[in-house]
Amino acid sequence: MFQLQVEIRDCEKRAYDLFLQNLIKGTSHLSLGQEAIAAAFGAAMQPGDKSFCTYRGHAHTLARGVGMEKMLGELMLRDIGLMRGKGGSMHLTSAEHGVMGSYAIIGGHLPIACGSAWRAQYLGDPDVAVCFFGDGTTNIGAFHEALNFAVVWKLPVVFVCENNLYMEYTPIGDVTAVPHPAGDRASAYGLQRIVIDGNDADVVYRSARAALEKARSGEGPSLIECLTYRHSGHSRADPAKYRPEGELERWLERDPLKIYRQRLIDFGIPANEISRIEERSREKVDEATAACKASPPAPETLLTADVYDDGGWAWRN
């Protein structure tokens, strides 16, 4: 899990660097500071389980085994990209890895995750749907509809709220009637209140394992609220000047990589082994970047491909 967290951090930092070099167009939403959640669930989930992410989905995509060059290539709109550059940052998808899409519409993917879980239940398939979303989603109608549906049908789905305190630019506490927007609402749907430290990968991993086992055994859904913090703004266009003075510095002391690195040291892992993991991660990011820069841009013919289910774009009525 330390390796996963380091690779996600390094890859996200490289995405920011490439944006500053004008090699990534448009905006994107980074997970700097939130790596523990993606890494822990990536380690806990089984092959075949399905991930449903928000537009802040780079980390969850990497955590399911998608190569760095595929993710960075997609952001750079290169032919090497996960969808050959057609999806971009906010629509990363790899059915092969169980990554069933990143979704730009707030809350739009929660009912879709329920649909995946209902399919598994109906067919007797063993996979579990895991749906990640931000704290702002808890004030969207689809959040409540999906939770109610999942509980009534005892669907094999795990809902994971990544509460980073801000719904874009607005503190979630300013617009929500309860202190914990997901955990404090769980009881309304007959679910256990689960609010955990989202910056400690071991804590997240244990909660993920328990929820996945519950879902897989036919005992229904879980709702987990992971308390975390994004180190940067909502997106590339956001300097995050709305944050109170000193708040970022306090959370940097709770950096998930810092926590886990120290834990490995406390467990007696040699410092040179930890450094090798970090060095290899930087090498992998450099190799992926070189591969992406060498890849040609996505062909223009891709614009008109797969508009309809026959693979084409011709209008018919």
Give the H or E element holding residue 102.
strand 99-103
**Would you put residue 156 in left (φ > 0), alpha (ψ -120 to 50) or beta?**
beta
Which two tokens mark 46? 């089984």
The residue behind tokens 């209140």 is: 193
Domain membership of residue 106 (yes or no) is yes
Residues of the chain scoring pLDDT < 70: none
**Residue partners of 102: CB distance under 8 A and separation at least 6:** 53, 54, 55, 56, 57, 60, 61, 89, 90, 91, 92, 93
Q: How far apart are CA 158 and CA 312, in angstroms?
A: 36
pLDDT of residue 309: 85
* Domain-embedded: residue 163: yes
Q: Cβ of 87: how many Cβ atoms within 10 Å?
A: 17
- 186 lies in a domain? yes
Instruction: State which residues form the domain around 171.
Output: 2-304
Task: Report if residue 311 sits inside a domain.
Answer: no
Query: Quick check: is 314 in a domain?
Result: no
In the block, which residue shows the tokens 């290899």?
A: 280
Q: Which residues contact 127 (CB under 8 A, 6 or more apart)?
A: 46, 48, 49, 50, 98, 116, 120, 156
Task: Tell me if 75 is assigned to some domain.
Answer: yes
pLDDT at 5: 98
Query: What's the token pair of residue 312?
Result: 């084409």
Cα–Cα distance measured from residue 115 to residue 96, given in angstroms and rounded to the nearest whole number? 18
* 313: in domain: no
Q: How many domains does the chain have?
A: 1
pLDDT at 76: 96
CATH code of 163's domain: 3.40.50.970
Cα gap 223→221, rounded to integer Å: 7
Structural domain contains residue 309: no
